[in-house]
Amino acid sequence: MNRQFEKYQGIHPGIVLDRELKKRSIKQRPFALSLEEHPQTFNAITKGKRGISTALALKIERELGLEEGTLVILQAYYDIKKIKEKEIKRTPNLHILSKGLFWDTDIQQIDWKRQYKAVIQRVFERGNENDKNEIIRFYGTEKVNQALQESNIRNPYTIYSFNKTTD
């Protein structure tokens, strides 16, 4: 694979192709027709909505003078990235968590990995013991403790005692 394309690993090859066509001032429709490909199919590929086949990738590479296999390799890296994202997309057991805990957001849209601090903070501020135990099981004690220490909000259930000294 050409070194200029190595930085695009994990990005859909259609998006890379679209950028390459724009750099060369080539219009999609005439280019697709010159490859004997339907313009609608070609457009779906350049928008990242459809994968690129090996046969089409070879035609495009030949036409644009790219190193053979570049787009196929980019497609493989993109597929690997998507599979890894699916594997990582774990969620806690949503049946255990209280329904009202995330009342202000679609619970299916929460990125449990990236937003872990906010999730842990919310559960420990407003959740019951079952909620807290599920979050500890999901993230692990160490990560939960770290997130709670980094948050500036006090635990509302903490009771502070003040020692008064009398003179």
Q: Is the pLDDT of residue 32 over 90?
A: yes
**Domain range enclosing 158:** 90-167
For residues 34 and 51, membership in a common domain is answered with: yes
Average of per-residue pLDDT across 132-140:
92
Burial of 154 (0-12, 13-18, 19+ CB in 10 A): exposed
For residues 94 and 80, membership in a common domain is answered with: no
Buried b (16+ CB within 10 A) or exposed e, 134-150: bbbebbeeeebeebeee
Last residue in a domain, options 88, 116, 148: 88
* Global pTM value: 0.56
Q: Is the pLDDT of residue 106 over 80?
A: yes
For residues 136 and 162, membership in a common domain is answered with: yes
Last residue in a domain, options 38, 70, 88: 88
For residues 44 and 121, membership in a common domain is answered with: no
